[in-house]
Amino acid sequence: MVGGRVGRLVGLGLLVLVVFGASLALGARWLGVGAVWHALTEASGSDADVIVRSLRLPRTTVAVLVGACLGVAGALMQGHTRNALAEPGIFGVSAGAALAVVLGLQIGVVESVGSTVWCALIGALIATFGVQRLASRGSGASPVGLALTGAAVAALLGAMTSAIVLLDANTLDGYRFWAVGSVAGRGFDVAGQVLPFAAVGLVLAAINARDLDLLALGDDVAAGLGLSIRRARLVGLLAIGLLTAAGVAACGPIGFLGLLAGHVARRIFGARNSWLIPASALIGAAALVTADLVGRLVGGAGEVQAGVVLGVVGAPLFVMVVRRRAVVL
């Protein structure tokens, strides 16, 4: 059984490699395997080398990183809330990051991706902890309470964002390009700036996986088995906040990736989080790279942003997953 799971995980890893390669080779100009290999190993400054090394490689790298972050964030949220709807977008985390970025744009502190990351991180963390605190008044965070609280916070933050955006055309102009969710034009500098956040988030998620399995048995049983529920929740929230902030800062609020990755992973690997979390990372990465590639191929000169592709293509896939299995975790 374990062998089968390892095999499937390796399969997912290969899938990521394949779409990574395809993303380097395909686009407005189609390159052969040889040209891509040449660009990667012994670049000589030809057109093809420039396209691969300075355009396609950076954005594909960012897509892998962000896809993994948002995929894991979704799986973690689904585990912690025991709610099939859980996703950074729906639970107000992306909305918090978005509001912080819009505030940053308005005040003028957001000039580079670097400052966007910090804004998004602060917003995401405040939103994550706010939702958790609000939902855990009284007898602790119940899955339904957390879901409702997240929806309320998301709406509140969204309203504040649109109030700011509507009063100022400049902010709207910056915001709409960021809010669509895209990896276009993202370079290695972006990946470098979000990498520390992503790495810490992924490590925390890995640490949290076993605790999540215990939490799935119910808070009382988990506490009886010696788990510090407070600490497990805290680590989980910190991981969700960091991963979402990294993803949102680099690419804007790309919706749906968390839902999609978490559900697909659950279908392939079952409920064990030690398998689910790495699987969600790989599925998220493959999905975002594929979405970006599809957007480049269908859009022609003006490409369709990855966030749009994920929304339109991901939705039917997601509906299929929902229709095949029970919705309550």
Partner 1 sequence: MNPRTLVLSAACALLAIALALVSLSVGTTKLPVADVVQALLGGGDGGTRLIVLELRLPRVATGLLVGIAFAVSGALLQTLSRNALASPDIVGVNSGASAAAVTVIVLAGTGGGNISGVAARVGIPLAAIIGGLAATAIVGVLSIQRGVIDAGRIVLIGVGVAAAANSIVAWLLVIGDVTDAGRAAAWLAGSLNARTWSDAIPVGLAVLLLLPVAVAFNRDLDALVLGDDVASSLGVRVSRVRIALLVIATVLAAMATSGAGPIAFVALVAPQIAQRLAKTERPPLLSTALLGALFVTAADLVARNGLEVLQVGPYELPVGVVTAAAGAPYLLHLIGRQQKGR
Residues in contact with partner 1 by the rule CB under 8 A: 84-85, 89-90, 134-135, 137-139, 142, 144-145, 147-149, 151-153, 155-156, 158-160, 162-163, 165-167, 169, 172-173, 176-177, 179-181, 255-256, 259, 302, 304-305, 307-312, 314-316, 318-319, 322-323, 327-328
Toward partner 1, which CB reaches closer, 18 or 155? 155
Taking the complex as a whole, how short is the minimal distance between the CB of residue 116 and partner 1, in angstroms?
17
Taking the complex as a whole, how short is the minimal distance between the CB of residue 36 and partner 1, in angstroms?
29
Taking the complex as a whole, how short is the minimal distance between the CB of residue 1 and partner 1, in angstroms?
29
Neighbours of 187 (CB within 10 A): 15
Q: Nearest-5° angle of CA 229, CA 233, CA 237?
A: 175
Paired tokens of 141 = 């965070």
Q: Give every CB contact of residue 234 below 8 A, 6+ residues apart in sequence.
A: none
Determine whether 108 is exposed, middle or buried from the number of CB atoms within 10 Å of its CB (0-12, 13-18, 19+). exposed
- Residue count of the chain, please give it: 329
C-beta separation of 97 from 120 below 8 A: yes
Toward partner 1, which CB reaches closer, 33 or 319? 319
CA-closest candidate to residue 236, choices 90, 80, 127, 131? 80
Taking the complex as a whole, how short is the minimal distance between the CB of residue 220 and partner 1, in angstroms?
14
Toward partner 1, which CB reaches closer, 44 or 323? 323
Q: For the chain, what is the radius of gyration of the CA atoms?
A: 20
CA neighbours closer than 13 Å in the CB half-sphere of residue 240: 34
Toward partner 1, which CB reaches closer, 79 or 143? 143
Toward partner 1, which CB reaches closer, 237 or 309? 309
Q: Nearest-5° angle of CA 268, CA 244, CA 312?
A: 60
Toward partner 1, which CB reaches closer, 33 or 315? 315
Taking the complex as a whole, how short is the minimal distance between the CB of residue 230 and partner 1, in angstroms?
17
Taking the complex as a whole, how short is the minimal distance between the CB of residue 280 and partner 1, in angstroms?
17
